[in-house]
Amino acid sequence: MDGHSVAGTAESTDVTQPLVECHAVDLNRTAGVASAGFNPALKRVPQMDVISVPLQRRPDFVPSWKPRRIPVKCIGLTLPEGLAFQPPEQKQETQSDGITLKKPDPPKKPSRLDENGKPKHTRVKPPPNALSLQDRLFYLLQPPLESWLAGQELIMPFEPFPYQYEGIAWMFARHSALLADEMGLGKTMQTITGIRLLLRSGQVNRILLICPKPLIPNWQREFRTWAEELPIVTIEGNGARRRMLWTMPGVPILITNYESMTRDLAEFSEEDAPKFDLLVLDEAQRIKNRDSRTAQVARGINRRRSWALTGTPIENRPEELASLFEFLEVIPAHASPDLRQLSALASEHILRRTKDVVMKDMPPRIDRDAELELTDAQQYTYRTAEKEGIIQLNELGDSISVQHVFELVMRLKQITNHDPLTNESVKLERLVADMEEVAASGAKAILFSQWTKTIDWLEERLQQFNPLVYHGGVPTKKREPILAKFKEDPDAHIILMSYGTGAVGLNLQFAHYVFLYDRWWNPAIEDQAINRAHRIGVTAPVIVTRFICKDTIEERIDRVLREKRELAEAILGDGDNDNVSLGMNATEIFGLFDLKKRTTKGASQSIGPARPEAA
C-alpha cells in the first residue's frame, strides 16, 4: 500500500514537483488471536459415560400383510344311484384234509393298447343335445367301457370288438338312437350291454323290449349269455296274466312281441298305461309304415328313451326312415323331411357300420349266381304258363291290377323251382350236386325258400343229407331243438328255412354254405338271411349260391333289383352298398311283362308280398 503511494508521487513530479515525504514503517509487528472462548474447551478432557443397550430386544415391526384365505367356490354333481351287483364270491375248495384252497383267478385278458402302448379307452361322449353342464359331466365321468366291462363290476363272457365298444358308448349316451349295423355285427349284444350299463348307472329302471315273436327265445338266450344277472320277464300267457305282467312293479326288463304290444296296450286307458324309461324296438322296420297300427301303438308308449334296431333302415322308400325318426321323436308327427334333412338326421341319430369297414379280418362272403337252364319239361310248362298268363292279363284290359301280375309272377317262380307236373327241377339237380360236396367235407348248409311247400317238397328229396326243416309251420317250441340239432348233429348237413322265419335273429355262423333256392323281392331280406351264416364268429368264407333260371322271370327280377341298390347309399353314406336296396314297385312289376301300369295310384306302391312275417 505504501509503495504504491511512492510511485504515484514520482510520476506527478514531472508536472507539479510534489513534496517527498518519508514515513518509517515498523515491520516488526506481531499477530494476535482474538479470544473466542472455545480454545479452552479444546484443551478440556471430554467426559464419557457408559449407557446400557439391551441387545436382545427385537426391533419394533408392524406387518402390513396378513395371510388371507382366498375364498373358493365349488360346483357339485352327485351321480344317480344305480343298481349294484354283488361282487363275485371267492370260490374256495376244501380238500379232504380240511385245507381250504383259493381258486386261482382266471387269466387276465390282454388289454388293447394304443399306438403309445397305453391301454386303449373307449369313453362315453356327451351327446350333442346334452346342454346342461351336469348332463355333460355325467357322461364324461363314466369310466371307459374297457374297464367298466373288464370284470371289475360287469362280467363279459367274451371280449367285445372295438367297434362294439364304440356302439355301446354311443347308445348309452343317447335318448334317441337307431342302431343300424349290418346284420351279424352284434346289435343284440351291444343293446344288451347298453341296457346293462344304463341300469347299472341308474339311468333307467324299467325297460320294454319289443321284437318279432320268433326272436323272443333268441333275446332270452342272448340276455343269459351277456347279462346273466339281469332279470327279464316275457309277457305271455292269457289276457289276465299279460295285463298283470305289463303293470307289475319292479321288473327291470319286459320282453314282448309286436302283436302282443298292439293288442294288449290298446286295453289300457291313458292313465293306466305302463310307463318305461327305455323302449327298444328290434327289427324296427316293422314300423316303417307310419300309419300302421303297430307304428301308432309303438309311438304312443310312454317312455323317456327310444332305441330302434334294424339292419335295413330303408327297405323300399326313404319315407320309411321318416317313420323311424318319428318313433325316435326327433321329428314332429307327420313331418316329411326331404333327403337332405334325412341325411342330416341320420348322421346324428343313426349309427351304421358295415362288415367291410369294421370286420376287415372276417372271412369273406363269396357270392355266386348259379344260372341254370330249365329242364325240357320245366321249359314247356313255364312257357305255356307265361303265354297263357300274359294273354289273360291282356284280356283283363283296364281292370288289370298289380295283384293280377303278381299272381302270374308267383306261378312262374314256382315252376322254376320245380315242375308241378313232372316234379323235374334243375335247381334240385344242382343242389344235390353241391350238397354232395358239402356233406363230403363235413360242412353244413342253409337253404332259403319263399314257400313252405317248396321246403317240404325238398325235404323229401334231400333225405341223404338228413335235412331239418325250420319255417312258420313248425311250432315255436320245436324250433330251438331243431337249431340245436343242426348245430350239434354232424350228420345233419342242411337246414331248410323260409325267409320269413329263418331270415332274422338267428346265429348260424357254423354253416359255411347258403343256398337261395328262389329269390326274395328285396335283396335286403336276402342279405338278412345270408347273414345268419356270415356273421361274427364265422371261421371260414361263406359261399352263397343264388339259383337263377335263365330266360325266366327270375332273371328279369334280378336285373331290376340290381339296378336299384344306390338310393339308400345316398342317404346312409358310403360303404353301404351291399345290404340295403329297394323293393319293386308297381310300374316295375308291370314292366316284367312289358305291360303298362293301368292305375294312376301307387307310383311307389310296393306290390311284392308282405315282408316275410316272422311267425
Contacting positions for another protein (CB under 8 A): 65, 68-70, 72-79, 81-89, 105, 108, 111, 119, 121, 123, 126, 133, 136-137, 140-144, 147-148, 150-153, 155, 200-202, 228-229, 231, 233, 244, 248-252
Q: Which is nearer to another protein, 436 or 480 (CB)?
A: 480
Shortest reach from residue 567's CB to another protein, in Å: 40
Judged by DSSP in three states, 285 sits in: helix
**What is the rounded end-to-end Cα distance, in angstroms, of the chain?**
154
Please count the other Cβ atoms lying within 10 Å of the Cβ belonging to residue 373: 12
Q: Which is nearer to another protein, 68 or 340 (CB)?
A: 68
Shortest reach from residue 111's CB to another protein, in Å: 8
Shortest reach from residue 275's CB to another protein, in Å: 16
Judged by DSSP in three states, 226 sits in: helix
User: How many angstroms separate the CA atoms of 569 and 580, rounded?
Assistant: 8
- Record the cell numbers describing residue 600, joined without a space: 294312376
Enter the DSSP assignment of 284: G
Q: Which is nearer to another protein, 17 or 78 (CB)?
A: 78
Shortest reach from residue 219's CB to another protein, in Å: 15
Q: Which is nearer to another protein, 148 or 307 (CB)?
A: 148
Could you tell me how far CA 511 lies from the centroid of its own chain?
Answer: 27
Measuring CA to CA, how many Å separate 388 from each of 151, 375, 384?
68, 20, 6
Q: Which is nearer to another protein, 57 or 73 (CB)?
A: 73
User: How many angstroms separate the CA atoms of 127 and 228, rounded?
Assistant: 29
Q: Which is nearer to another protein, 252 or 591 (CB)?
A: 252
Please count the other Cβ atoms lying within 10 Å of the Cβ belonging to residue 377: 16
Question: Do residues 534 and 548 touch, judged by C-beta distance below 8 A?
Answer: no
Shortest reach from residue 278's CB to another protein, in Å: 17
Shortest reach from residue 229's CB to another protein, in Å: 4
Q: Which is nearer to another protein, 244 or 421 (CB)?
A: 244
Which element (helix H / strand E) includes 220? helix 216-226
Shortest reach from residue 104's CB to another protein, in Å: 13
Shortest reach from residue 74's CB to another protein, in Å: 5
Q: Which stretches of 540-585 are DSSP H helices?
A: 553-562, 567-572
**Contacts of residue 448, Cβ cutoff 8 Å, sequence gap at least 6:** 497, 498, 499, 502, 503, 514, 515, 516, 517, 520, 526, 529
Q: Which is nearer to another protein, 151 or 602 (CB)?
A: 151
